[in-house]
Chain A
Amino acid sequence: MVGPQYDLVGNPLGAVHATFERAAEATAAESGGREPVAAFRGKDWGASEVFRSFLFEQGGLDKVPVLDASNLGLIKPNTLVRFRGMVQDMLGNEYYVGAFKDGSTWRTNKFSDFSPFSIPHPCDSHLWERHLFHCVPVPGQNSWTRESSPGPDLRTMSSCLTSEQRDKRKRDADNDAMDVSENGNVESSSPSKKPKDDDVQNSNSSPEISMNKGHISEMNGVDHHIPGSSFSCLVKVYDMPESQVKLNDVAEFIGVYTFDPELAAPTDNSDDIMFDLIEDVTAQLPPSKVPRLHCLVRRNLSAHDFLSKPPTAEPSPILLKGIRQSLLSHLTLVLGKDELAAQCLLLHLLSRLRNKVDVVTVGRLSLNFTGFNRESASIFGNQLNNLIQRLLPYSQAIPLSIEYLNAATLQPRKDNQSGRLVTGVLQLPQGTHLTFDETLLQSGSLTSKGVENTMLLKNLMESQMVEYDFEYYKLEMATDVQLLTLSEGKSNILLSDLIVPFRPSSVPAVNVSAEELESWRWYLATVRSLPQSTESETYQMIQDEMVSAMRDDRSLGCSELSRWLTMAQIMASSFGENSLSIEHWQMVKELERLRKERLH
């Protein structure tokens, strides 16, 4: 039904209303009943089909601008936008008048906040519900991910914005009593967008972030991606069972952007004082700072979706092997020609949580490089961080010093007074990579907060769970992050699975080309999602191997053998093979042998 009469990008609500009215008439004609639109509650009448086919089949995705801190002031309200972010908080359900009768035609309010018509009698209107989610840009998102989907140049569209709206926004920003913290790191990689418009100031929409920026030393000259500091978006999702969206999911929401500053004005209702008493959480998110997005189409994002080009080739073993080799050699160079360390790092970067049996997590491989000191940490650490930032979609580097442990807010906490979840560093999407620099740790004493933070990190390392504090009880949320530690001796706070003494022999000085980076990114994303299947002979063989290993070395225990098996599995998939074979096991044993030599 998509004809040229709909301008889906510029006037999506028009398409929504038109299709609704048509559908309502159609059902009214069919059933002849009084309430034709009752059937539409919770379901779609064909509008999202229209959008879906436009976006995905007809390549309309590129025409839709991306909602971002930089272009918040430039986008015209009631147009179609996209927003990529992480679900940071779930704000419950909202009831709105979904369908109402205006005269003799049925109209809908879906996908908008403000109704131009006066609300009619309740008999002629239906209440529907929608879910509210508070989304923020993904914490730790690296800049290369933004290249993948630039929107159209918005400067040409900026003339659409009336001067009045611009002034209004400026006034709001000026009156902002909250701290305006600097924008984390919004480097627009696409040159067409100007980073900031002079009229629009980026403002802090989550004032509760208590992380003290002064304490965080910058590891390599790039600001940390502090969650929530750039901006956030209130997404209203329709028609979807709420359990489909989980906390900390990264998704792309495509929908209608609405801006209704009138709705946010505090109502001084002497009429019914109760309005003020039953507070609305969304009142804390003023529309001038937090845009509202009414979601039409939603899709979850994985690492693949951040790649610029869609994967061209089939992930064949030969192709993967080649890329593996080039990546490995690059890693070796970065790590000062320490091959063992490079091999271990590769295995670590490819690890992901496969299974969870009670408290035992299968598939994780956290890595601890020992033998660093301050200088080497700054040299190698910087290089390593640079590389990781360019390879993985989300990563963060955390300097583990006493001040940091004592001051940082790691644990997300629910503030029952305001009704929102105050975020912490450990509210991370799946697949984030964390690098801890422990060389900054000096002797000192930990406050009680420091002890709590340490326990949180320990829990994260061991069972991949983070406890969220809900004041009267604690809720555990599962995560899947990769943890790398750089320390002088064996780390006592973060007990990693794999401990590798670091023996560099040269200073790194490397350049890489963009294609190489692309291919490596693709490699990492693909290998991590390769399914693993194994034949039953392999089981038997592995068991025999384990038994003989235990016989040779009595000190081997359950955890070590489990780790070997994990490493072997990762090794197998790093070659593109989806089943484990004896050679991989042997390779792992060889690595272990070399590692053990170094330990003594």
Chain B
Amino acid sequence: MASRGGGGNSNSPNSVSSPDVRPSSPLPATNSSPAQSGRSGGRRRRRGSASPYPSSPSLGGFETPPPPGRRTPSGAATSRQRQNWTGRFPPTPSTPMSTDDVPPSSEAGDEDTPETDGGGVDADAAPVFVWGTNISVQDVNAAILRFLRHFRDPRDAGRVDPVMDEGKYMRAIHRILELEGGESLDVDAHDVFDHDPDLYGKMVRYPLEVLAIFDIVLMDLVARIEPLFEKHIQTRIYNLKSSVCLRNLNPSDIEKMVSIKGMIIRCSSVIPELKEAVFRCLVCGFYSEPVMVDRGRVTEPHICQKEQCKATNSMTLVHNRCRFADKQIIKLQETPDEIPEGGTPHTVSVLMHDKLVDAGKPGDRVEITGIYRAMTIRIGPTQRTVKSIFKTYIDCLHIKKTDKSRLHIEDSMGTDNPDANKTAEDVSLGDKVEKLKELSKLPDIYDRLTRSLAPNIWELDDVKRGLLCQLFGGNPLRLPSGASFRGDINILLVGDPGTSKSQLLQYMHKLSPRGIYTSGRGSSAVGLTAYVAKDPETGETVLESGALVLSDKGVCCIDEFDKMSDNARSMLHEVMEQQTVSIAKAGIIASLNARTSVLACANPTESRYNPRLSVIDNIHLAPTLLSRFDLIYLILDKADEQTDRRLAKHIVSLHFENPNIEEIEALDLPTLVAYISYARKYIQPQLSDEAAEELTRGYVEMRKRGNNPGSRKKVITATARQIESLIRLSEALARMRFSEVVEVRDVVEAFRLLEVAMQQSATDHATGTIDMDLIMTGVSASERLRRDNLVAATRNLVMEKMQLGGPSVRMIELLEELRKQSSMEIHLHDLRGALGTLMTEGAVVIHGDNVKRV
């Protein structure tokens, strides 16, 4: 009676249809020491008889003798077969296995048939080696068993396990058995290495043999636990210690286990591979036994097996009852960052079986663990000579997609889960992250980052710093009460034409992949937010996102801001403050997220910026919108010899490679992008107490500056909005240093940046002081004072000179009177303004040019 545990013996008549739990692995047979089976002759042998198992990557390239041990339903002597078996595999009781309960059905096909030479296998207890090496099969067997049973993951050390004291893989095996699913056990090669480096080494160098033994051991374990388990569990090794570059595969890697990263560019269709063929006799209808497929050849039985029939050449293949296995060939190309300069990417073919088929599709980035094989090509079907060229491919054992854990340029720079946990995968990204962390510890990382941003655009250092802060972004905050504070920084660049504002915008657009670049003139309000379209297939109306929504978590660059229509600009109000876009049209009422940072660029209305007028007058933007910008930079073209000289020096240094002119290192673009995306994803700085104190102190200072005890007017130098901006800026600066805590120096730098920006744009040129009111309302405090004075004077004049209900006086006369009285310059329109105020008070009535007191 063939025991299930190992029945190498398939001769018993009952076992025809029972799934053979032969411990045959899907891999070709290993060679045993030549002493045992004289026919090995040193050639690789093929187990053509693997059957209910996932099909094997089993095409050896060499001529092999027909496999022994063909399953025939004949009652041939078992001993011979067993002999063959033992020739190959470690039998046995000689293996130090702790046998508990289950009968020692060892994998190598010893059953407790009475004929057994009992421990006749002990006769073959001489150590069996893998051909050509000194790896003892028994030792490997033992090592694997130890590993599977006893390996405990050090990371799980703290966890209390109900099924206590079971190894990690024992648990996994149990799980597979319970769930009755899964045909593979994923074995982490790092674990193997930690447990037994020697075993790891053997596995990598002789994967075919070791994996075969692995499978046997696994089968044995499974049989021990649950004898009725029918499916064969395959071992899949992954996560090797070192992965090879596709380019570096060379002939010495053949027949070794390799791990390769790449991108799938092409998948073939699923190819059915015939494993067992069933024939039917045309004469009598008798179905033959399943015939194994041997190296792509099926031998059709010549004679019908049925006793009564015995017709010759009457068998035909029955497709439905044949067994097929899936196979697929994919082409793997190396990832773009591995390609050396001036080269094209290399490809390699990968063979996938069964469950691995369709695991990846073209365009995926994957990491494949497999065995590198080479095979000869025959010149012709009839000739035995072969070409001297070999074709190579990889037999895939395990495939893993690497898309998520990559710092990739195409990733969005933001993240959708700000509390991404640092999983083991990220740690294994290893050196890239390490490099970034080292960079962040440099003392001059801030300067380096500034220099790496748009290196071809000259000067504009402070602007670049502001832009850097925008890229890094602050922390969005959502209070339990529902209020939320945005984390995005908005920047406005105003300046003379000819300075490289547009270039800066283009560069920022290039840097931030989820960004949209639009020109003000070419955008409509609807295009910016969302518009309604008809779905071509279903005919329903659907909402298509516009520019602002598409650049969610990115930077939206808007050029020619001032040329935008007012309609469009009004959309921006909501986006910039609430970070959402509300739509109510065509029956769709929705509110979309638009968490973008806005980078806008405007030109003054006259050809050059008129420093005597305020920002508002120069660019005609509503002050309400302006106040939503955190930083407003004025980029002026100053005719300055110093800047000219520096420009000249810069140009000369570009042309001549002069060692004197030192170039301080800047980061290159991919590193910069990686740095930014890593920082945005993983670093969430929090305000430290000292920083918070410094903030409040600085804010109070700023406001105090306006309140000189001597002056009568109150100049507002900072508003509450500025505090928020300051917090965002400090958080961004802390993020640049990969620091989780916002420190005092970040706050100080944020103040400085704000000052620089304010100085340029909010300086009241009449008095020279910074007046935030200029931006907020467009009217500076001094101006307002002036107006108030004028209104007071006009009121006095009207009270004096005009009588209640008296005749109307012409405005010009009033003007002359006022001029005589005060020394200030008064213009007609100022007077009109003052009279307008009086009219609202109800003191006068204006008809055209005449004023009448009421």
Binding site for B on A (CB under 8 A): 41, 89-90, 92-97, 109, 112-115, 118-119, 121-123, 126-129, 242-243, 246-249, 262-263, 265, 267-275, 277-278, 280, 354-355, 357-360, 362-363, 414, 416-417, 419, 421, 470-473, 475, 477-478, 532, 534, 536, 539, 542-544, 546-547, 550-551, 554-555, 557-558, 561-562, 565-566, 569
For A470, give its contact among B247, B345, B379, B388 (CB under 8 Å). Answer: B345
CB-based contact B295/A115 at 8 Å: no
Would you list the 8 A-B pairs with minimal beta carbon distance, nearest first? A246-B342, A127-B251, A546-B648, A543-B648, A115-B388, A95-B390, A90-B344, A97-B388
CB-based contact B455/A92 at 8 Å: no
Closest to B264 in A: A472
CB-based contact A96/B391 at 8 Å: no
Which of A92, A126, A247, A569 has the largest number of chain B CB atoms within 10 A?
Answer: A92
Contacts of A274 in B (CB 8 A): 59, 329, 351, 375
A398–B64 alpha-carbon span in the complex (Å): 60
Given contacts A551-B641, A561-B648, contact A127 B344 (CB under 8 A): no
Closest to A123 in B: B42
For B266, give its contact among A355, A358, A417, A550 (CB under 8 Å). Answer: A417
A263–B388 alpha-carbon span in the complex (Å): 10
CB-based contact A278/B647 at 8 Å: no
Contacts of A94 in B (CB 8 A): 389
CB-based contact B645/A543 at 8 Å: yes
Given contacts A471-B265, A551-B641, contact A92 B380 (CB under 8 A): no
Between-chain CB contacts (< 8 Å), 22 pairs: A95-B374, A95-B392, A113-B389, A242-B247, A265-B380, A267-B377, A267-B378, A267-B379, A270-B381, A272-B295, A272-B375, A275-B375, A278-B329, A278-B351, A355-B654, A419-B331, A472-B363, A543-B652, A546-B644, A554-B637, A558-B458, A558-B650
CB-based contact A278/B349 at 8 Å: yes
CB-based contact A96/B388 at 8 Å: yes
A95–B376 alpha-carbon span in the complex (Å): 10
A93–B344 alpha-carbon span in the complex (Å): 12
Closest to A545 in B: B648
Contacts of B669 in A (CB 8 A): 358
Contacts of A249 in B (CB 8 A): 342
Given contacts A270-B381, A277-B271, A547-B648, contact A534 B656 (CB under 8 A): yes
For A128, give its contact among B251, B296, B333 (CB under 8 Å). Answer: B251
Contacts of A89 in B (CB 8 A): 344
Closest to A100 in B: B388
Closest to A555 in B: B498
Query: B639 on the interface (CB 8 Å rule)?
Result: yes
Query: B803 on the interface (CB 8 Å rule)?
Result: no
Contacts of A417 in B (CB 8 A): 266
For B339, give its contact among A271, A360, A475, A558 (CB under 8 Å). Answer: A475
A547–B651 alpha-carbon span in the complex (Å): 11
Contacts of A115 in B (CB 8 A): 387-388
Contacts of A566 in B (CB 8 A): 655
Closest to B459 in A: A558
Given contacts A92-B346, A360-B456, 15 further A-B contacts (CB under 8 A): A90-B344, A96-B390, A113-B389, A119-B385, A123-B42, A129-B250, A243-B342, A246-B341, A247-B343, A354-B655, A421-B344, A534-B656, A543-B645, A554-B637, A557-B498
CB-based contact B391/A280 at 8 Å: yes
CB-based contact A355/B649 at 8 Å: no
For A562, give its contact among B250, B378, B655 (CB under 8 Å). Answer: B655
CB-based contact A357/B384 at 8 Å: no
Closest to A243 in B: B340
A249–B347 alpha-carbon span in the complex (Å): 21
CB-based contact B644/A109 at 8 Å: no
Given contacts A267-B380, A546-B651, contact A475 B265 (CB under 8 A): no
Contacts of A246 in B (CB 8 A): 341-343
CB-based contact A90/B343 at 8 Å: yes
A118–B63 alpha-carbon span in the complex (Å): 13
Q: How far is the CB of A577 from chain B (nearest CB, A)?
A: 15
Query: B297 on the interface (CB 8 Å rule)?
Result: yes
Query: B263 on the interface (CB 8 Å rule)?
Result: yes
CB-based contact B391/A355 at 8 Å: no
A263–B651 alpha-carbon span in the complex (Å): 59
Contacts of A265 in B (CB 8 A): 379-380
Contacts of B376 in A (CB 8 A): 119
Contacts of A247 in B (CB 8 A): 342-344
CB-based contact B652/A547 at 8 Å: no
A539–B651 alpha-carbon span in the complex (Å): 10
Contacts of B648 in A (CB 8 A): 542-544, 546-547, 550, 561
Contacts of A355 in B (CB 8 A): 654-655, 657
Q: How far is the CB of B250 from chain A (nearest CB, A)?
A: 6
Query: B268 on the interface (CB 8 Å rule)?
Result: yes
Query: B336 on the interface (CB 8 Å rule)?
Result: yes
Query: B812 on the interface (CB 8 Å rule)?
Result: no
A126–B652 alpha-carbon span in the complex (Å): 56
CB-based contact B645/A547 at 8 Å: yes
Q: How far is the CB of A312 from chain B (nearest CB, A)?
A: 31
Query: B386 on the interface (CB 8 Å rule)?
Result: yes
Closest to A547 in B: B644
Contacts of B62 in A (CB 8 A): 122
Closest to B387 in A: A263
Contacts of A123 in B (CB 8 A): 42
CB-based contact A93/B346 at 8 Å: yes
Contacts of A544 in B (CB 8 A): 648
Q: How far is the CB of B34 from chain A (nearest CB, A)?
A: 13
Residues 502-558 of B at the A interface (beta carbon under 8 Å): none
CB-based contact B265/A472 at 8 Å: yes
CB-based contact A358/B455 at 8 Å: yes
Closest to A414 in B: B344
Contacts of B655 in A (CB 8 A): 354-355, 362-363, 562, 565-566, 569
CB-based contact A118/B385 at 8 Å: yes
Contacts of B336 in A (CB 8 A): 470, 473, 475
A543–B661 alpha-carbon span in the complex (Å): 13
Query: B393 on the interface (CB 8 Å rule)?
Result: yes
CB-based contact B644/A562 at 8 Å: no
Residues 308-334 of B at the A interface (beta carbon under 8 Å): 329, 331, 333
Query: B254 on the interface (CB 8 Å rule)?
Result: yes
Query: B840 on the interface (CB 8 Å rule)?
Result: no
Residues 369-420 of B at the A interface (beta carbon under 8 Å): 374-381, 384-393
Contacts of A272 in B (CB 8 A): 59, 295-296, 375
A233–B393 alpha-carbon span in the complex (Å): 26
A421–B346 alpha-carbon span in the complex (Å): 12
A566–B651 alpha-carbon span in the complex (Å): 10
Given contacts A242-B343, A269-B378, contact A357 B455 (CB under 8 A): yes
CB-based contact A271/B381 at 8 Å: yes
Contacts of B14 in A (CB 8 A): none
Query: B607 on the interface (CB 8 Å rule)?
Result: no
Q: How far is the CB of A504 from chain B (nearest CB, A)?
A: 33
Q: How far is the CB of A125 from chain B (nearest CB, A)?
A: 9
Query: B658 on the interface (CB 8 Å rule)?
Result: yes
Contacts of A275 in B (CB 8 A): 375, 377-378, 391
Given contacts A90-B343, A278-B393, A421-B344, contact A536 B658 (CB under 8 A): yes
Contacts of A112 in B (CB 8 A): 388
Q: How far is the CB of A68 from chain B (nearest CB, A)?
A: 26
Residues 437-494 of B at the A interface (beta carbon under 8 Å): 455-456, 458
A36–B374 alpha-carbon span in the complex (Å): 23
Contacts of A95 in B (CB 8 A): 251, 374, 389-390, 392
Contacts of A562 in B (CB 8 A): 651, 654-655
